[in-house]
Amino acid sequence: DELALLETLSMGKPISDARSIDVPASANTIAWYAEAIDKIYDEIAPTGSGALGMITREPVGVVAAVVPWNFPLLMACWKLGPALAAGNSVILKPAEQSPLSAIRLAELAAEAGIPDGVFNVVTGLGETAGKALGLHMDVDAVTFTGSTEVGKLFMSYSAQSNMKRVALECGGKTPHIVMADCGNLDEAATAAAYGIFFNQGEVCNAGSRLLVDAKIKDVFLEKVIAVGKTLTVGDPLDAATKLGAMVSQAQMDRVLDYIDIGSKEGAELKSGGKRVLSETGGYYIEPTVFDNVSNKMRIAQEEIFG
């Protein structure tokens, strides 16, 4: 409950999701890699009698793990779990919007007995702390999840420094594809709606495009819109809330700007599209659906992340 609360306070996701999804998945990740520690086997390759070929598994060294703000704790565990299990030291750089669970995780790690210096948390801005890790000569690998723009920077930081290994997960514009012979349109519509609206749409593989056979398009779209209207937008600390707040005003403004761009480029706004609950001071946006979107439009080409 403490970790779930920190996630919700940091980035506005519903407390019910933080408690039932983020925290259990984080614990499962750590448990899985703990089990993997004694199963990292070296290998002897099959060779002729005159040669010996060996594959040795050894730590790469110091791993910098730079994580985004949409799933702060889970993304951290996805990165530090395997890195620690393989014997590396880790420097975790949480997003500046959501550092709370990372700091608490470091406290728990120290309490659990992880030696000093093996798991470290460095907070700060991407353009300072993140860049410093990317350029550091004693960092042997960087793993980054975030925008394509910043991913390219980490590749350049590697080139400018020690050619450290770089593992990137950057951006997405994932489609849901629904064919005319779909066996259950209601179930598919629910999946499509949750696929884009879950976590306020702040998901790298959110189903942000919907490609539907023309024969069923109108019926299917109405079903998706109907599901979207059942998702309660509100206080993230209310267990009944299904959609919380955008992580920041900047992100809210970005999403609202894309909604405006979609309308100006000729897409038809079918549902939502407005900021709500503004009197609370929170960054809330209605579930939003456009129709008749051309693949040339920016809302079809660019990751909105909301």
Task: Output the six-digit token pair for 294.
Answer: 């051309």
User: What is the DSSP secondary structure assignment for residue 124, as one 8-state letter?
Assistant: S
266 sits in the region (left: phi over 0; alpha: psi -120 to 50; else beta) called: left
- One-letter amino acid for residue 243 of the chain: L
Is 77 part of the annotated catalytic residue set? no
Go through the chain and tell me how many residues it has. 306
Q: Which of 7, 77, 204, 286 is catalytic?
A: 204
- How many whole angstroms separate alpha carbon 258 and alpha carbon 252? 10
Q: Using alpha carbons, select from 55, 65, 76, 78 the residue that is nearest to residue 11.
A: 76
For residue 173, count CB atoms less than 10 angstroms from its CB and return exposed for 0-12, middle for 13-18, buried for 19 or more: middle
What's the burial of 217, exposed, middle or buried (CB within 10 Å: 0-12/13-18/19+)? middle
How far apart CA 243 and CA 196 sit, in angstroms, is 11
Active site residue: 169, 222, 265, 303, which one?
Answer: 169
Summary count for the chain: helices (H), strands (E): 11, 13
Show which residues are catalytic: 169, 204
